[in-house]
Structure 1
Amino acid sequence: MRITKKRLSLLTTSIVLISITGCSQRISALNDTIKLAFIGDDDIQLNSEQVRSNPYASIYAKIDGTPQAFVVLALAEPKQTLTPVRPTPEAIELKWLSADNAMLVTVNGRLVRTQNLLSGNLAAVESTQPDPLILGLHLNSTPKVWTRTIDWQPNFHYGYTLNSQFNFIGEENILLNDTQTQALHYIELVSVENIDIQYKNDFWLNPENGQVIKSRQKIAPNLPFIDITLLKPFAS
């Protein structure tokens, strides 16, 4: 997700234009997509008023070794799956698209697909079990283990099985949009079958509804981590 420095100068003008349009966040067709991201030589950091005045859901995204980007929601649609499991009503794919056509796809904060990243891409995540993040990781009734298969590129890695164990770390205060926010910190210990790779993902949840408000996730076993911070949530 790299955009030339001169695009950074468009930041203020573009936010004003977005505010003037006042379109609904009910994005249901590709014709409604908004493709905005701003990356320069330094991290992008918006103040709380700039975030609030933007009518679209938005995130910060930062891949290891690259500047932080501000990205708005392009599309929201029900999650498509090839496996027999029936997605829960909350399984909505949010597609975040940058101006250089790099895309992140998340489901309740879980990265499930990427496109056009320079480092490589997560092609698919499939499971016959619902992701504990969708069920509500903060609930006692939610399983704290999960098995899935993933595909990633380059080099055509298909059908690798990942086993996860979720552990609660504790309550923490994190800075979101200039505001100290209480969050539940969980780590996900991930083991990749058949190859000697283990790593951990970090998720910070809203204590009231279990929504992921911040995360640090590995894009794929041999790809870098990405930090995602929710600035303005999607309102369905």
Structure 2
Amino acid sequence: MNTFLSQKWMRLLVVLPVLSLTFGCTQKFNDVSATVQEAYGNYIDVELTPEEIEAVPYASAYLKIGNQKQVFVVLAFAESNPLTGQTQLKWVSADKAMVVTENGHIVKTIGLQTTNLAGVYGDIPAYSDSPTQYALSYDWSEQHRYGFQAQVERSRQGKETVTTPISSTETDVYTETVTFPSLEESVENTYWVDRNGQVVKTRQHLGPNMVPVELTILKGYSKS
């Protein structure tokens, strides 16, 4: 079977069972959003104290889009991606916007006040000292732009400490150049990765000529 068609069928098969769980997922989504909004009505450009961050019963992060003010988001879902076997983390704001990450990469967005990602597809390798190359496919929901192939080149740049109200983490800094041959455009993304291989901060472009999205993890996700 054609590889492109196989991938399309796989995406459809992934969507179908999810639709049957829509009500339950929507309820959880709304509950989490309501929790954030009730606790932090002024959630835009918020600066939380260590006590406030620890009191939130979810993993949490700060989200910033371009030059806009900082937003507080919490983890609503941690679900396995059937296509890759990796865990996808779904971060939700009080106004029900969502950012989905996998291995630190933003792979989908909903409700952002910018161009939203319908999906990023492909295997995202673990972070290592050696330069890495791999391929991804990008879909953007605006104007129904799908299947844009991207070549990614990743390299380690050095070390840097990421400081939040509740932690100070020594990280390895990686940059990725994402090139879209059909568009003759490229973007550069940055990842701050801790000693366990977890991305604790990232600054990414959702596509060419799009403002960067920055996510800084406050209280990280733990499988336990």
**Partner of residue 137, structure 1:** 127
Higher helix content, 1 or 2 = 2
**1:16-73 CA distances to partner (integer Å, 9 max, x unpaired)?**
xxxxxxxxxxxxx524441136585962111222212222100110001311011111
Tell me how far apart the structure 2 counterparts of residues 164 and 59 of structure 1 sit (CA, whole Å).
Answer: 26
2:106–2:204 contact (8 Å) kept in structure 1: yes
* Residues 1:157 and 2:175 are matched in the alignment: no
* Residue identity (%): 33
**Partner of residue 184, structure 2:** 196
Point out where structure 1 has 5 or more consecutive residues left out of the alignment. 1-28, 82-86
Tell me how far apart the structure 2 counterparts of residues 114 and 131 of structure 1 sit (CA, whole Å).
Answer: 18
Q: Which amino acid letter does the alignment assign opposite residue 119 of structure 1?
A: T
**1:191-229 CA distances to partner (integer Å, 9 max, x unpaired)?**
11111211110000002x110000000122232110000
What's the TM-score, normalizing by structure 1? 0.75
Q: Find the residue that maps to 1:147 and give its secondary structure.
A: strand
**Quick one: which of 202, 215, 222 aligns to 1:215?**
202
* Residues 1:65 and 2:52 are matched in the alignment: no
**Partner of residue 19, structure 2:** none
Give how far 1:124 is off.
Answer: 1.0
Q: Within 5 A, what are the aligned runs for 1:36-75?
A: 36=36, 43-75=45-77
Q: Find the residue that maps to 2:192 and give its secondary structure.
A: strand
**Partner of residue 169, structure 1:** 157
Tell me how far apart the structure 2 counterparts of residues 61 and 117 of structure 1 sit (CA, whole Å).
Answer: 11
Give how far 1:148 is off.
Answer: 0.8
Tell me how far apart the structure 1 counterparts of residues 129 and 43 of structure 2 sit (CA, whole Å).
Answer: 41
Figure out how many residues of one structure are paired with residues of the other and give that number. 193
**Partner of residue 13, structure 1:** none
Q: Kindly report structure 1 stretches of 4+ aligned residues shifted beyond 3 Å.
A: 37-42
Q: Find the residue that maps to 1:149 and give its secondary structure.
A: strand
**Partner of residue 11, structure 2:** none
Tell me how far apart the structure 1 counterparts of residues 94 and 113 of structure 2 sit (CA, whole Å).
Answer: 14
* Residues 1:233 and 2:220 are matched in the alignment: yes
1:174–1:180 contact (8 Å) kept in structure 2: yes
What's the TM-score, normalizing by structure 2? 0.79
Point out where structure 2 has 5 or more consecutive residues left out of the alignment. 1-23
**Quick one: which of 105, 111, 114 aligns to 1:116?**
111
Superposition RMSD in Å:
2.0
- Relative contact order, higher structure (CA 8 A, sep 6+): 1
Q: Which amino acid letter does the alignment assign opposite residue 171 of structure 1?
A: K
Q: Which amino acid letter does the alignment assign opposite residue 53 of structure 2?
A: V
